Chain A
Amino acid sequence: MRLSMAWLDTLWLQVTGTVCNIACRHCFISCGPKVRKHDYMTVEQCQAALDSAKSEGLRAIWFTGGEPFLHPDILELMDAALEVGPLGVLTNGMLIDDALAAAIGERFRNAPYNLEIRVSLDGCTAEQNDRIRGKGVFDAACAGLRRLAENGVPALVAVSLVDDDAMDQARLVEVLTGLGLERPRIKWIPAFRIGREERRGRGYEAWEMLTPEDVAHPETPHRLQCGTSRTVTSNGVWPCPILINEPDFRLADSLDAALGPHRVDHKACYTCYVEGFSCST
């Protein structure tokens, strides 16, 4: 089953590949400190993708990984992206020290386009969060959020809905307000039952699949983020950030060659479809 794109207007760059400073138990692409399945992208690779996407009508750029702020040239990459369009960075927030927070703040205020920083937090307490994300992660992420707030950057907080004991939204808002976020913004992320999450929670059931009728519906390219976006890593181009460890879903070496119809018969496609989910904010 293949889907034709409506258009390409969103570009995901896996700037640090699968390399992360932590190894969350629910990570659907199983990132970690020594996971080099997808390596860091070079500045040239990122620029080439930006240039190709720009000619297609690019209007949103997202950096993810792994942990984007591990990249030694991250500020240069951010500047290159912000010259072309609005940028979002998905981060665990742990590496945002005072100097980096100030550099982000300067770009938030003065870049040509919007800069969105999205920090992952999977609990209102260290106990809740760290059982999924690792010891000490809650405190470090909160410190990053606080530094961003001090520099005038209203980070958005991404919360994974992986456990049955749902996150207490009112409590989370309290926690975030306490960190200096005046108007907390929260994005809820459904569980993708692949990677480490398949072992931690459960895998997909046989019936959890898109049907040919789903794929043929004219609204589907707008309901699935792969209908308007592509993801580039050091290893090539994929339809979305979720499927970069699925070699059968790899599209091409370069973005220009990756804009044709793509497969949407992965189990994870079902989650995006039924949740109306997009990795974008």
Chain B
Amino acid sequence: MLDVTSEHRKVALFGGSYNNWKATEAVLADAKRRGCDGVWFLGDVGGFGPHPDRTAEVLRSAELGLVQGNYDDSVGSSREDCACGYTDPRDNHFAQISYDYTLANTHAEHRAWLAAMPASARIRVGEKTVHLCHGSPRQVNEFLWESTTPAGFVEHLCNRYETDLLACTHTGIHWERRLADGRGLVNVGAVGRPANDGRQNVWYAVLEWVDGRVRTELVPLEYDWEAVVAEMRAEGLPEEFVETLATGWWTTCLEILPARERVAGRF
């Protein structure tokens, strides 16, 4: 097992910046305002937003822990695609547009930084261990959706990785499942795009040691999405991506949603 990297009373966990540098700035400010004594980023710096270097700069100038996402591995190693694991041709079409844009606009120095991120990390919150990963602890691009991640599987992962809590991102929709014994899994959502719920805000998580247990708060985060939308249009990024930030509904990468999560969205 990995060594514990840091210890916290109250820690902010976020992931999926997807080049949304405004939201990345906002989450760092919000965590500070809430009195968090640490911040961890769970991966995917790049994605469908504008100016990839800006998010890299925001993250690199902040004091925070890092876990690598599939996007970071791909961009860091200049691979051919984002390795998001899509099978649908339309999803892959749009995923390739954002990937090619991100790769072309990420400075070599930032690519080296992305490539060097660790695949996972372990922290302590109070007396409990939290295993941090991007998709799942066993696979960087495994999707852990609420409707397809049963309690028995969460228990299996907690046993296998000898942890009280698991924290992940990758799907872009936040949720949490606790077992009867208090162990569990929290998907912290993403700050780079809204949660396909018709609202423009994005999500992250705050874990706090309170009364002998780790309390999880899934935090809705407002940010200046209109500024990001303007930049995306100026960069000539697809209007489908713009629409997602402006409306809160996903328009691409939909085929990977389980049926239950899919019917909750508009498209």
In this complex, what residue of B is CB-closest to A112? B150
Bin chain A's interface residue count: 20 to 34
Closest Cβ–Cβ distance, residue A187 to chain B (whole Å): 9
Residues A154 and B149 in contact in the complex (CB < 8 Å), given A86-B258, A116-B258: no
B255 surroundings in chain A (CB, below 8 A): 185
In the complex, A114→B148 CA distance in Å?
A: 6
Which of A7, A86, A114 gathers most chain B CB within 10 Å? A114
A9, CB-defined interface residue at 8 Å: yes
Closest Cβ–Cβ distance, residue B170 to chain A (whole Å): 15
Inter-subunit contact B267/A114 (CB<8 Å) = no
Closest Cβ–Cβ distance, residue B179 to chain A (whole Å): 14
Binds A, one of B19-27, B103-111, B124-132, B153-161: B153-161
Scan residues 27-67 of chain A and give those whose CB is less than 8 A from a CB of chain B: 54, 56-60
A116 surroundings in chain B (CB, below 8 A): 258-259
Residues A54 and B148 in contact in the complex (CB < 8 Å), given A114-B259, A114-B260, A116-B259: no
B153 surroundings in chain A (CB, below 8 A): 9, 57-59, 85
Inter-subunit contact A156/B150 (CB<8 Å) = no
B180, CB-defined interface residue at 8 Å: no
A69 surroundings in chain B (CB, below 8 A): none
In the complex, A152→B260 CA distance in Å?
A: 10
A108 surroundings in chain B (CB, below 8 A): 259-260
Closest Cβ–Cβ distance, residue B28 to chain A (whole Å): 33
Inter-subunit contact B259/A154 (CB<8 Å) = yes
In this complex, what residue of A is CB-closest to B256? A281
Residues A183 and B156 in contact in the complex (CB < 8 Å), given A59-B150, A60-B148, A86-B148: no
In the complex, A167→B133 CA distance in Å?
A: 40
A154 surroundings in chain B (CB, below 8 A): 259, 262-263
Scan residues 118-173 of chain B and give those whose CB is less than 8 A from a CB of chain A: 138-139, 145, 147-150, 152-153, 156-157, 160
In this complex, what residue of B is CB-closest to A188? B87
Inter-subunit contact B259/A58 (CB<8 Å) = no
Chain B contact surface mostly: helix
Residues A58 and B262 in contact in the complex (CB < 8 Å), given A7-B138, A185-B255: no
In this complex, what residue of A is CB-closest to B152? A54
Closest Cβ–Cβ distance, residue A149 to chain B (whole Å): 11
Scan residues 173-201 of chain A and give those whose CB is less than 8 A from a CB of chain B: 183, 185
Chain A contact surface mostly: loop
Inter-subunit contact B259/A113 (CB<8 Å) = no
Bin chain B's interface residue count: 20 to 34
Inter-subunit contact B259/A115 (CB<8 Å) = yes
A84 surroundings in chain B (CB, below 8 A): 150, 152
In this complex, what residue of A is CB-closest to B160? A57
A57 surroundings in chain B (CB, below 8 A): 152-153, 156-157, 160
In the complex, A54→B153 CA distance in Å?
A: 8
Inter-subunit contact B259/A152 (CB<8 Å) = no
Inter-subunit contact B263/A58 (CB<8 Å) = no
Inter-subunit contact A183/B262 (CB<8 Å) = yes
Inter-subunit contact B138/A114 (CB<8 Å) = no
| Binary A-proximity of B237-267 (CB < 8 A = 1, otherwise 0) | 0000000000000000011001111110001
In the complex, A248→B262 CA distance in Å?
A: 41
Residues A58 and B147 in contact in the complex (CB < 8 Å), given A108-B259, A154-B262: no
In this complex, what residue of A is CB-closest to B139? A222
Inter-subunit contact A85/B150 (CB<8 Å) = yes
Contact of A59 (CB < 8 Å), options: B148, B259, B261? B148
A185 surroundings in chain B (CB, below 8 A): 255, 262
In the complex, A7→B161 CA distance in Å?
A: 14
B145 surroundings in chain A (CB, below 8 A): 114
Scan residues 128-149 of chain A and give those whose CB is less than 8 A from a CB of chain B: none
In the complex, A185→B149 CA distance in Å?
A: 21
Scan residues 86-125 of chain A and give those whose CB is less than 8 A from a CB of chain B: 86, 108, 112-116
Inter-subunit contact B152/A58 (CB<8 Å) = yes
Closest Cβ–Cβ distance, residue B163 to chain A (whole Å): 15
In the complex, A173→B148 CA distance in Å?
A: 26
In this complex, what residue of A is CB-closest to B153? A59
In the complex, A195→B138 CA distance in Å?
A: 36
Beyond the given pairs A112-B150, A114-B260, 4 more chain A to chain B contacts, judged by CB atoms under 8 angstroms and listed by A's residue number, are A85-B153, A114-B148, A115-B259, A222-B139
Pairs A–B under 8 Å by Cβ, sample size 7 = A7-B138, A57-B152, A57-B156, A59-B149, A114-B147, A114-B258, A222-B139
Identify the B interface with A (CB < 8 A). Answer: 138-139, 145, 147-150, 152-153, 156-157, 160, 254-255, 258-263, 267
**Closest 6 CB pairs between A and B?**
A57-B156, A114-B147, A85-B150, A59-B153, A114-B258, A86-B148
